[in-house]
Structure 1
Amino acid sequence: MATLLRNFKRAAAGFMAVACFSIAVSAQILIVDDDRVEREAAAYKDFNLQTTDLRNGIVQRRQFISRGGVLEQQLAELEKQKSIIGNDKYEAEKQKLEGAFVQAQRELQVLEYNFDRLRQEAMVQVERARQPVIRNLLTARKAQVIMVKRLVLGSAAGTDVTTEFIEQLDAELPTVQLSMGEKEGAAAPAPAKKN
């Protein structure tokens, strides 16, 4: 009977130790929704505002040169008018459109390169600002790890610290400083369109 009672006490103590350990482990992991941070944090919004013209220029050129885009429609319209305008005029107009295509491709490459460079520049600033925020949250919550939400299958209430993370990141980095040249800040003129 004494052995049975001792074994029962050991089992109960073991069960309590496992339960306490599992609670301690779950309290040491925090979760941040990176997608929400990118939508709501001031630094990301500031980057989007500063690069609006650049992104619009990229979209315009993609629409111009894409399959079924403006250029293809202009070529189809020119093809329909070939018999009316004559071969010489047709070839001259076709060469203009081909030149506009090449120019739009070059402009697109430059705009995309500049946008990628600016995005990298902004990401470096955001990453520098994130590190103290991460350390503060880990210290304040006595946690060991912060995980990205998309990697977690489920979580207990109170482990998601996204709102707190965004607030601290906004305080740490309200804006990003981008080294935009004159040409990068404004979209280049739109490709020439046929009258």
Structure 2
Amino acid sequence: MKRWLRSLKQLLLQRFDVACPVWWPGKAAADRCRRAVRGGSAFIAVAFLLSGALRTAAQAQCGVVDRIDFPVDTAAFQRVQDYGVPSVRHHGRYHTGEDWYGGRGSSLGQPVRAAAAGRVTFTSATAWGRDGGVVILEHRLPDDTIAYSVYGHLMETPEIPLPAALSCVPAGAVIGAVGDASRKAG
């Protein structure tokens, strides 16, 4: 099982450019990442964090991760800001997410999907101020390790509301729409 977990961690690193530079243990991991992964001039930020083995009944209800997918259509979107790149906008600090963009006018309002099955631990349409909304999902891996994915620069629309806190979402479920960081959230 440890070999499988190592392989999954490598997959996360290769496919998602882990947004937070360390594996943070403990309950406050999602809060620390939410504070760390702020801003970005593009429209999608995704982060995965792994913490120590922690299992609750609520996590078990949402199932075990059996696949990990990109949250946006990689044929229509391109990565415009990598993880770990110094950013003038962030006063020289490193960008702590990976941003994807499909072109002005073409990506706004497009669906953002859960990369893996999980439980919504945080949801807010205005958490990042002018940079839009945030959804944080908690995922249970087969060895009971907990991983978090963070989706930023989101907006909700009448057709695409953000998911409710503590709800379960399957892999591929629409959890928000691509927002516009240049427009004021509200």
Normalising by the smaller structure, the TM-score range is under 0.3
- Point out the structure with the larger strand share: 2
Tell me: higher relative CO, structure 1 or 2? Use CA pairs within 8 A at least 6 residues apart. 1
Structure whose CA Rg is larger? 1
TM-score w.r.t. the length of structure 2 is: 0.22
